[in-house]
Amino acid sequence: MRNSSPLSVQLSGDTIFVMKTVCVFGVFCVLCLPALADTAFPHGTQVAVGASLTGGIHLSAGYYNSEWSDFLRRHFGMRIGFASTNPLKSAIDSAIDSVMRDGIDVGDGVKIDNGQLDAWHVSMLLDYHPFAGAWRITGGYAWGGMQLDSDVFGKIEQAPSQRFYFYLAGDHYYYNGNDFGGIATIDWNFHGPYLGTGFDWRIGCGFGVFIDFGVVFTSRAPHLSLNIPHEQLYIYSKQTQTWAPVTIPTLDNDVGRATHDANRKLSDFRFYPVVKLGFSYNF
């Protein structure tokens, strides 16, 4: 039997480590940044545009005035924001493709290629300025979604006329040809409380710069799904010891078992990191 290889879907330890590190960094920023007062803090109605590390182009509008005599209005402000990858979709997908130029080998002759990312989030935020200055502590609520699609494929280069064999959740499969392909998708639709921190600085003529760090405590974890075409796909029956075209329920059951471990690991990740920076205008 040629090129018999197990196909499994799993998250690497490095991926989980990076995801958790971003969350820990966000919480650290919220709790441990020093209280910085800034007399050059912009005040009044603010509109802003910038980039969100996990959302693409970011737009926001809000109000804060440090010159109020009333304590609450002098220390509190509010903002609404929206971010989406759509305006930068071509650039983001090109960047992903450059990383996956020759495919990322995940073992057993299987590679991941052609990644496409779609993400967005909306937030309603309340800012607290401890020193009526540039530094703020932010709480609020956010809604959002993220979807990452990528091709999963394999090929027997040395034997183009042979079958492509692989294992999925313990069952033995083959495609009637030398190519195997599928689509892996991670989707994350969420909502939840937001906690973060940030700064606003004036640079002159009403213009300023801003930066935000925070996390959304999400209502659900990301979910991984795997779509494997059933055309020309055969499965080996241990009872009859023969090959037969796979039935869709059997394939769906094996795919579900194969992705179960990855989704179990993803279930521990419920913090959506938010990092934003850009320019603002106050009037």
Domain ranges in the chain are 5-282
pLDDT at position 74, please?
A: 82
Q: Measuring CA to CA, how many Å separate 279 from each of 59, 83, 125, 202?
A: 10, 14, 18, 10
pLDDT at position 19, please?
A: 53
Cβ contact 189:220 at 8 Å:
yes
**CB-side neighbour CA atoms (13 Å) of 131:** 13
pLDDT of the chain, 283 residues: tens digit per residue: 334 444 444 444 544 554 555 555 554 444 444 433 344 455 678 999 999 888 889 999 999 887 777 777 788 999 999 999 888 777 777 776 666 666 665 544 556 667 788 889 999 999 999 988 889 999 999 999 988 887 766 554 443 355 666 777 677 777 665 556 678 888 899 999 999 999 988 888 889 999 999 999 998 898 888 777 777 777 777 777 778 788 778 777 777 777 787 788 888 888 999 999 999 998 8
Q: Measuring CA to CA, how many Å separate 271 from each of 149, 156, 161, 195, 214?
A: 21, 40, 47, 11, 10
Tokens 């195997």 belong to 180
- In the chain, what is the greatest distance between 2 CA atoms, to the nearest angstrom? 85
pLDDT at position 17, please?
A: 52
pLDDT at position 194, please?
A: 97
The sign of the dihedral angle between the CA atoms of 26, 27, 33, 37 is positive
pLDDT at position 97, please?
A: 67
Instruction: State both tokens at 71.
Output: 């304590």
Instruction: State both tokens at 35.
Output: 């209280």
Cα 171 from Cα 178, distance rounded (Å): 19
pLDDT at position 265, please?
A: 82
CB atoms within 10 A of CB 278: 18
pLDDT at position 249, please?
A: 81
DSSP 3-state of 24:
helix
